[in-house]
Structure 1
Amino acid sequence: MNRYEKQELFRPIGKEGQAILQTKTAVIAGVGALGSALAHQLARAGIGRLILIDRDVVEESNLQRQTLFIEKDSEDMVPKVIAAKERLNAINSSVDIEVHFKQLTGHNAEKLVEDADVVLDGTDNFETRYILNDVCMKNNIPYVYGGVAGSTGTVAVFLRDQTCCLRCLLGGRMLGETCDANGVIMPAVEITASYQTVEALKILTDQSALITPKMLTFDVWTRMNMETKLPFSKADCPVCIKNIYPALQKDFLEAVVLCGRKTVQLSTNRLFDLNQLESELALHHPILTPFLLRVTINGLDVAIFKDGRIHVKGTEDTKIAQEMYEEYFARLVYE
């Protein structure tokens, strides 16, 4: 039996499309709710290569909607990309899966997406989405945008010189509801990811001409659907018209509140020696894992990563997190 027989019987893909798909590479930025569903669907479809990028570890609150993870991943605080690769390898061992346990930034984005035939958005914040937008427009890579909050999903495909870009559309603003304020239900996630995957399959089987230049918004709870035609590029758009890519010129984000987590992420351009930090922070009940160091400071759960990130859990006050960094970590940073 041919594993992909039923997919090949679908005429728009067929045997030829399936063969093309198995030569292609997709980058998925963010391996949370949307990213898990995207990776799962593309792996089962038989894509040749998946590149997964995520900065986070699995937590119990993820399990309600992030389908690649299990309870033990949460208990062990396994990085999402590591847990995802393990599940995906079990689903389809023929897919080449490359993982990057790091934050996507303006500094590393071009290197991370350089092999991509398509980039799929599984993120939860507009800072990162503008990085994806700018790097895709600069390198002429199709960008499949997706967003979900509550029971509402939004999907659009941005193509260089064929549609406006996300920055052009939104003017660089940080818009939209968040799962932090509105929660999220799994059906909205799965349907949003399914629409994204369909658009990606068109691109990955060399059928980009079938992409409709519209933004789709739907609500699975009220069964509302709306399509909005993407406008032409604005004459003053720095990306579409002027070939200036603001998000790729930024340094690391200094402090970001993570969606729905009551956690502040601090990012630096330095590296941590976790073994040394374990010794230095012995009074703060350190727990060292292969991926991070956990300590408790002033009643807050703090996770330190080798690549210079710190998660301060239990607050959404960026000032508190920054002051903690200055007091406890600034002098312990290793270049």
Structure 2
Amino acid sequence: MAERYSRQERFAPIGKEGQALLAEKHVLIVGAGALGCANAEMLARAGIGKITIIDRDYIEWSNLGRQQLYTEEDAASSRAKAKAAEARLKAINSNIEVKGIAEEFDPENAELLLKDIDILIDGTDNFDTRFIINDAASKYKVPWIYGGCVKSHGISLSILPGETPCLQCLIDQLPQDGETCETAGIIGPAVQVTAAYQTAECLRFLTGHPMSTHLVSFDVWGRGYSAIDVAKLKDPQCASCSDAAQFPYLKKERGMRTAVLCGRDTVQVRPGGKENVNLERLARRIEPFAGEAKVNEVLLRFQMEEKRFVVFRDGRTLIHGVDNVQEAKKLYHRYVEA
């Protein structure tokens, strides 16, 4: 066991002192998809003392090509990504603490999740969540590392609240053409290179080295690379990180909320407050109409009206096969809330 981190300790910028520091650190990873998996595995193997990973989704067969923590068994059982990631990371390194949370990262839980962490890593796939991360990190002064990838392209940026521009400051510098992995595809090397930049920056920060002020982007297929120094692009009037910041993305919404998941022909429905749904009871109620309903540790899955429902214990529901919010609400009221 003494040699577990020996090769990393021989890397002079980390050394034994840096390794000891890593064992005391807590990293929060938002998103347990491709980037979240790659970052989480590298950090677990590097000996980070505590890793918390939060994700709202479950494992599907299409995930297995690039989300390295998951197995065919996980996909067959529709296991929650956060819980499957927790189990796999504990198997990789039993000396560290790992906690998987099968929830959505949102304004309601942001403050609690950012409490007592050293750094946050972005493993999400949408800008809505990233801007919530950005506001929360700015408000609670938590460093974080943005990352994104699609097709063969990747991008990474380290953000240190109070010192560097935040994501909102750089809105015009970021690609927002609407392409996603579901609509445009992705190859594994783009994921791995993006995660490598994120993890390296994380290790630098946690061992006392300054993070980069460069926005790094690359194309692993076309062999393109660029690095832009954004240090001077901080917006003094920014609504998310200036002295007069209002943190617009942390405003809590009341009542039922819905979101169309980009490229997935799926609508997410969230009740007004987090509930404690008895999934087993719900399964018994709908089974005569829906056929077999499958329940695991955090979710219930069933088919109804040629739509696939995935209901989590907090009441959050994904309805596949629909892209209309009003129709999704009707289906939710009819089968989940009834």
TM-score between the two structures when normalised by the length of structure 1: 0.93
Partner of 2:196: 194
How far apart, in 2, do the equivalents of 1:222 and 1:215 lie? 19
Partner of 1:68: 69
Aligned-pair distance for 1:247? Answer: 1.4
SS at the partner of 1:168? coil
Say yes or no: does 1:274 pair with 2:279.
yes
How far apart, in 1, do the equivalents of 2:274 and 2:4 lie? 46
Letter in 1 for 2:330: E
Letter in 2 for 1:307: D
Q: Please tell me whether the aligned partners of residues 86 and 100 of structure 2 are also in contact (alpha carbons under 8 angstroms).
A: yes
- How many pairs does the alignment contain? 329
Deviations 1:131-151 (A, max 9, x none): 111111111111100001010
Deviations 1:213-250 (A, max 9, x none): 11111000001001122243223211221131111113
Q: Map 1:251-266 to 2 at 5 A.
A: 251=253, 254-266=257-269
Partner of 2:105: 104
User: Percent same amino acid at aligned positions?
Assistant: 40
Partner of 2:314: 307
Deviations 1:267-326 (A, max 9, x none): 222412223322332312233333222222210111111112111112333332123123
Partner of 2:234: 233
Letter in 2 for 1:244: Q
TM-score between the two structures when normalised by the length of structure 2: 0.92
How far apart, in 2, do the equivalents of 1:74 and 1:68 lie? 11
Unaligned runs of 5+ residues in structure 2 are none
SS at the partner of 2:169? helix
How far apart, in 2, do the equivalents of 1:320 and 1:263 lie? 11
Aligned-pair distance for 1:173? Answer: 9.4
Q: Please tell me whether the aligned partners of residues 213 and 229 of structure 1 are also in contact (alpha carbons under 8 angstroms).
A: yes
Q: Please tell me whether the aligned partners of residues 105 and 251 of structure 1 are also in contact (alpha carbons under 8 angstroms).
A: no
Q: Map 1:107-186 to 2 at 5 A.
A: 107-170=108-171, 175-176=176-177, 177-186=179-188
SS at the partner of 2:98? strand
Note closer, same or farther for the CA distance 1:76–1:329 as it changes in structure 2 (3 Å cut): closer
How far apart, in 2, do the equivalents of 1:45 and 1:141 lie? 21
How far apart, in 2, do the equivalents of 1:326 and 1:35 lie? 33
How far apart, in 2, do the equivalents of 1:94 and 1:156 lie? 30
How far apart, in 1, do the equivalents of 2:41 and 2:151 lie? 22
Q: Please tell me whether the aligned partners of residues 54 and 103 of structure 1 are also in contact (alpha carbons under 8 angstroms).
A: yes
Aligned-pair distance for 1:95? Answer: 1.1
Q: Please tell me whether the aligned partners of residues 80 and 299 of structure 2 are also in contact (alpha carbons under 8 angstroms).
A: no
Partner of 2:15: 14
Letter in 1 for 2:258: A
Q: Please tell me whether the aligned partners of residues 38 and 68 of structure 2 are also in contact (alpha carbons under 8 angstroms).
A: yes
How far apart, in 2, do the equivalents of 1:124 and 1:189 lie? 12
Letter in 1 for 2:59: V
Q: Please tell me whether the aligned partners of residues 85 and 99 of structure 1 are also in contact (alpha carbons under 8 angstroms).
A: yes
SS at the partner of 1:116? coil
How far apart, in 1, do the equivalents of 2:25 and 2:126 lie? 27
How far apart, in 1, do the equivalents of 2:104 and 2:37 lie? 17
Deviates more, 1:157-166 or 1:168-177: 168-177
Q: Please tell me whether the aligned partners of residues 53 and 99 of structure 2 are also in contact (alpha carbons under 8 angstroms).
A: yes
Aligned-pair distance for 1:194? Answer: 0.5
How far apart, in 1, do the equivalents of 2:313 and 2:9 lie? 44
Q: Please tell me whether the aligned partners of residues 151 and 184 of structure 1 are also in contact (alpha carbons under 8 angstroms).
A: yes
SS at the partner of 1:255? strand
Measured on the aligned residues, the alpha-carbon RMSD in Å equals: 1.9
Say yes or no: does 1:316 pair with 2:323.
yes
Q: Please tell me whether the aligned partners of residues 27 and 119 of structure 2 are also in contact (alpha carbons under 8 angstroms).
A: yes
Q: Please tell me whether the aligned partners of residues 107 and 251 of structure 1 are also in contact (alpha carbons under 8 angstroms).
A: no
Deviations 1:132-189 (A, max 9, x none): 1111111111110000101000100111121111122217999243112211111000
Q: Please tell me whether the aligned partners of residues 127 and 174 of structure 1 are also in contact (alpha carbons under 8 angstroms).
A: no
SS at the partner of 2:322? coil
Say yes or no: does 1:325 pair with 2:326.
no
Q: Please tell me whether the aligned partners of residues 124 and 259 of structure 1 are also in contact (alpha carbons under 8 angstroms).
A: no
Deviations 1:107-134 (A, max 9, x none): 1011012121000000001111011111
